[in-house]
Amino acid sequence: MPDLQFSLEIFDSPRRHKSSPTTFFCAALRPSSSSGTHATNDVDGSPVNGRPTRRFWGSVGCRRTFAGVVVRVHGGVKFYRGAAKAARAYVERDRSRADDYYLSEGAGVAERFTATPESVDHAGSMDGATYERWVAGIDIDTDRPKGWVRNDASALRFVEVTVNGPKTWSLAAALHPEISAALDEAQDRAAVEIVGWVAQHATTRVGPRGRQVQVPVERIEAAVIRHYTSRAGDPHRHLHLQINARVYAAGAWRGIHSVGIRDSIEAINGIGHAAVATDPQFRSVLAAHGLALDPETNEIRQLIPYVGAFSARTAQIRRNVDRYEGDWRRKHPGEEPGPRLREVWDRRAWAEARPDKVVPKDGRELVARWNGELRELGYRAPTKSVPLAGPSPGWIDRDVAADLVVSILGAKRSAWNTADIRGKTEILLSQTCLLADPATRAELAEDITARAASRCVTLLNRPDVPEHIRSFSSPQVLEVEADIVARIARRAAQPARKVRMGGRGLVRIDPAQAVVAGTLAGDGSIVVVEGAAGAGKTTTLRLTRELLSLRGHRLMVVTPTLKAAEVAAAETSADGHSAAWLIHQHGWRWDADGHWARQPNPAPDPSARLRAGDLLLIDEAGMLDQDTARALLTIADETGARVAFVGDRHQLPAVGRGGVLDHAASWAHPTAVVTLEKVHRFTDPAYAALSLRMRNGDDPGGVFDALHRRGQVVIHASGVERTIVLADAGANGDLVIADAREQVAELNAAIRHHMQRDARVRREITTAGGDRIGVGDRVATRRNDPGLQVVNRQTWTVTGIGKDGSLLLHGRGRDREIPVAYATRFVELAYATTVYGAQGSTVTNAHVAMGEHTGAASAYVAMTRGRQTNVAHLVAENVDDARNQWIEIFNRDRADLGPGHARRQARDAIDRYGPQHWRRPVAAARDRGLRL
């Protein structure tokens, strides 16, 4: 379904407010573009079309190993396991020498907090030794262990989330000491609020194995570590908030139920962001300096134009440091660089990146350098203050807000929990530019959350569902899936007859392809075709088009993305469109109330009209979301067209509510379900057989062993070393694939740096995302734009740069001129790509960075892109560790296959983690003032 793009507006005319004490919460919703083309979501589900969105909350990371420490990242939450003495080194790796400018003499490593469901107390600062004891599970007040504490390397020590904000907040804090102090205080209040919320909602498990139940915690402890800079040394205000794994409940110290914290990340992130963005003191200081927040992103408007260029300069310094570290690690395997060595690398990196500048000697000089960099980029501080504008809590229509929250959640997922509702509520409140003290905002958010929850339906009819289990859905979500199943079932009532082909086929195909083409060209009202990666689908579809044409019928191919539709049309000579374009032509839109609905009396373009007997073929059907599928089935029912779902349930799922291909395969008549199992893509038959084992999940340990013997699994001691190797592969023209966009951006920059290390610097532009793009670079357009004739995810080569920063692009025999406004916002480097960007591509060689974010479908898709070679790259301590990671990856399934699947997942989660023994009443909002 086209991405939901919101513009939240509070009508805050002074005259209106005087006459109406209760204003309303208004959301103007619209499709991503008037043409009906829409964004293809990336792996994190964030839109890449329409207005760009920024993820300014939570933590994105990969598996880190050093000094016997393992930090795993799950859903934005870090799980720290390992030696307590290494924890201090872990947190200090994220700090640069600029922090000494802000930290007072003798400042501790961390601030300690204790919390109950009723209050949060500041328990003092912890020095290095005290912090290590705290991590080890020692009660700091009594100096005794918190119950039975595990001492093995796999023992969970703490769960960590990162409280940060948009880049412009940190830039403003560097510019003005008053903003720096206000931001620190606001983040402190946010941390206290998060700790209090966790104390109210966290659980632990008690009881004998197999019969455990979840009970609320009675006391938790947290540590807050403040960092002012990133590892690269650029401004990055953030807090590491660590919840100790030992909690007090049911009369004893126990282990926290860490899965519950993971499943609560949306609320934690939302509270952390909104607590700062709506803080009256922080906003007042910004306004006094002439600065204001952008409602959509919460970035500081006056600094937005400089973020990309500033980030590009500091990223170059980080890449230099990474290169030094990689070279050092190759010469010193098994060792860890110390702080002095890192300081030497830092100074050297600055000198190499900016040879015309004096290298900053300390934190004060570095902060001055940041401000100088901004002035060089053209920033001038406002000379006048701006009014402090924003609605008060009383102006928010709580019922409308609750309806909107449920609509947004239902547009992107099949099931959710109260933490998801709270998190979405907080983000929406921050986007109104609300001004409210913490207690008032918390009461507003809790009330909207409760109202939204009351509008949901429960997937499980039982009273003991733990709060973190995603067991809520909406009537609309359930109704959509029921309608899809009903429409498929009606079409599956009769068997499908195949078209018989003579001895001389129209194209050369194997017997399995002939069966598939005959079924597609037959009379089945619904057909399902599943095939492994590289099974020869294109040849089969080309033959299907010819067979249908001979019978006077048309083949229309639609895909979840416009890029894939163009490729399919070019390779099969059939009509190809994005699914979003077709349903847009037939009237589907977002209405003003945030509902996906059809406009009356649509007038589709002639090319969008189907006739009885035509075949509407949905390619990559595993990636189809349920709302789009329902619309496509409706169009086919109205026109009498036949429908074919073509895809692979083992490949990437929909970003959002999917499972359509599963329903089609389950309900279609057995004569209408055909498969393509013979793999044609790979030059090595042995690898083709291994690819099928990856697809089916057969013995992942054995597959790992086979690939490792073949040299197709490479193990790296650190992420830095892996990045260097992948940069070399990308510079040689191989496809490089990673899971998250942040990791892809880092790899793109490293590959470009590797390619241009010895080249003469030419004219280049810097994008809003910090990419430096010059002539000869391989780039991708990331927004469908019919006027410019560019498509999301199309790749191009830059052939020229205009004086105004516009780009000349060449690709697939076409040339495009891209204006600077589009180029800086929607063009990015494309030497590396996400797995979603790689699906459908076939190259000679592919390299895949695997880690905590990789699931079975992502791994299988990525490892089947190369015809000749496909190589997996893992960061691990040894082969056994890498093998265990591989097995975890192929046992990991993150697909949302609809509310029916979500119901089964919720039941399984309760069976695995235990039911809720009793639920603590949700306390009324209270002022969680910090008691010193």
546-571 pLDDT, tens per residue?
Answer: 999 999 999 999 999 888 888 888 88
Q: Among all chains, which residue has been given the structure tokens 């204001």?
A: 292
Most confidently modeled of 197-206, 329-338, 359-368, 736-745? 197-206
The model's confidence at residue 150, banded by pLDDT at 50, 70 and 90, is: confident
Q: Which runs of consecutive H residues, i.e. helices, occur in 136-236?
A: 167-175, 177-201
- What confidence score (pLDDT) does residue 242 get? 95
Tell me if 788 is assigned to some domain.
yes
Is pLDDT at 157 greater than 70 in this prediction?
Answer: yes
The model's confidence at residue 680, banded by pLDDT at 50, 70 and 90, is: confident
- Which CATH number belongs to the domain containing residue 796 in this structure? 3.40.50
The model's confidence at residue 66, banded by pLDDT at 50, 70 and 90, is: very low
Q: Which residues contact 732 (CB under 8 A, 6 or more apart)?
A: none
pLDDT digits (tens, 9 = 90+) for 846-869: 999 999 889 999 999 999 999 999
Q: Give the alpha-carbon dihedral of 858, 864, 865, 867, to 10 degrees.
A: 170
Is pLDDT at 643 greater than 90 in this prediction?
Answer: yes
Is pLDDT at 50 greater than 60 in this prediction?
Answer: no
Average pLDDT over residues 478-492: 96
Average pLDDT over residues 804-832: 93
Tell me if 9 is assigned to some domain.
no
- What confidence score (pLDDT) does residue 154 get? 78
Please name the helix (run of DSSP H) or strand (run of DSSP E) that holds residue 778, with its range, or none.
strand 778-781
Tell me if 45 is assigned to some domain.
no
Is pLDDT at 613 greater than 60 in this prediction?
Answer: yes
Q: Are residues 747 and 796 in the same domain?
A: yes
Picking from 875, 902, 917, the residue at the C-terminal end of a domain is 875
The model's confidence at residue 919, banded by pLDDT at 50, 70 and 90, is: low
Q: Are residues 644 and 691 in the same domain?
A: no
- What confidence score (pLDDT) does residue 925 get? 33
Average pLDDT over residues 862-890: 94
Parent domain of 866? 685-875
Q: Are strands 526-531 and 575-578 parallel, antiparallel or unpaired?
A: unpaired
More confident position, 789 or 230: 789
Lowest mean pLDDT among 54-58, 346-350, 919-923: 54-58
Average pLDDT over residues 258-281: 95
- What confidence score (pLDDT) does residue 123 get? 95
Average pLDDT over residues 123-131: 91
How far, in Å, CA of 849 to CA of 715, rounded?
Answer: 10
Q: Which residues contact 904 (CB under 8 A, 6 or more apart)?
A: none
The model's confidence at residue 354, banded by pLDDT at 50, 70 and 90, is: low
**Among candidates 685, 701, 703, 715, which has minimal Cα distance to 872?**
715
Tally of CB atoms within 10 A around 596: 22
Q: Are residues 612 and 704 in the same domain?
A: no
Q: Give the alpha-carbon dihedral of 126, 129, 135, 137, to 10 degrees.
A: -100
pLDDT digits (tens, 9 = 90+) for 890-899: 998 878 899 9
Q: Which runs of consecutive H residues, i.e. helices, occur in 396-436?
A: 398-412, 418-431
How far, in Å, CA of 261 to CA of 741, rounded?
Answer: 24
Tell me if 410 is assigned to some domain.
no
How far, in Å, CA of 752 to CA of 768, rounded?
Answer: 17
- Which CATH number belongs to the domain containing residue 488 in this structure? 3.40.50.300
- What confidence score (pLDDT) does residue 11 get? 36
Picking from 350, 377, 404, the residue at the C-terminal end of a domain is 377
The model's confidence at residue 662, banded by pLDDT at 50, 70 and 90, is: very high
- What confidence score (pLDDT) does residue 628 get? 95
- What confidence score (pLDDT) does residue 330 get? 79
Tally of CB atoms within 10 A around 143: 8
Average pLDDT over residues 778-793: 90
Q: Which residues contact 5 (CB under 8 A, 6 or more apart)?
A: 29, 30, 31, 32, 47, 50, 51
Is pLDDT at 253 greater than 60 in this prediction?
Answer: yes
pLDDT digits (tens, 9 = 90+) for 306-333: 888 887 777 777 777 787 888 888 788 8
Q: Are residues 747 and 622 in the same domain?
A: no
Q: Residue 621, class by beta-carbon neighbours within 10 Å (0-12 exposed, 13-18 middle, 19+ buried)?
A: buried
Q: Are residues 699 and 662 in the same domain?
A: no
Is pLDDT at 597 greater than 90 in this prediction?
Answer: no
Tell me if 346 is assigned to some domain.
yes
pLDDT digits (tens, 9 = 90+) for 503-534: 444 556 778 888 999 999 999 999 999 988 88
Tell me if 764 is assigned to some domain.
yes
Is pLDDT at 742 greater than 50 in this prediction?
Answer: yes
Residue 885 corresponds to which tokens in the numbers above? Answer: 């990671």
Q: Does residue 553 come out as left (phi exceeding 0), alpha (psi in the -120 to 50 range) or beta?
A: beta
Is pLDDT at 826 greater than 70 in this prediction?
Answer: yes
DSSP assignment of 509-520: --HHHHHHHHHH
- What confidence score (pLDDT) does residue 558 get? 94
Average pLDDT over residues 239-247: 94
Is pLDDT at 35 greater than 80 in this prediction?
Answer: no
Q: Are residues 662 and 806 in the same domain?
A: no
Q: Are strands 814-818 and 642-647 parallel, antiparallel or unpaired?
A: unpaired
Tell me if 419 is assigned to some domain.
no
Percent of the chain with pLDDT strictly greater than 90: 58
Picking from 855, 875, 895, the residue at the C-terminal end of a domain is 875
Q: Are residues 669 and 694 in the same domain?
A: no
Task: Report the Cα 778 to chain-centroid distance in Å.
Answer: 24
* Residues 625/1, Cβ–Cβ less than 8 Å: yes
- The one-letter amino acid at 852: E
Lowest mean pLDDT among 73-87, 213-227, 809-823: 73-87
Is pLDDT at 52 greater than 50 in this prediction?
Answer: no
Percent of the chain with pLDDT strictly greater than 70: 85
* Residues 465/417, Cβ–Cβ less than 8 Å: no
- What confidence score (pLDDT) does residue 569 get? 83
* Residues 157/81, Cβ–Cβ less than 8 Å: yes
DSSP helix, strand, coil percent of the chain (3-state; round to 5): 40, 20, 40
Mean pLDDT over the full length of the chain: 84
Q: Are residues 498 and 642 in the same domain?
A: yes
Q: Are residues 284 and 373 in the same domain?
A: yes
Average pLDDT over residues 411-423: 95
Q: Are residues 693 and 561 in the same domain?
A: no
Q: Are residues 605 and 713 in the same domain?
A: no
Tell me if 843 is assigned to some domain.
yes
Number of domains in the chain: 3
Q: Are residues 668 and 696 in the same domain?
A: no
Task: Report pTM.
Answer: 0.84
CA distances to 198, 209, 250 from 261, rounded to whole Å, are 8, 21, 19
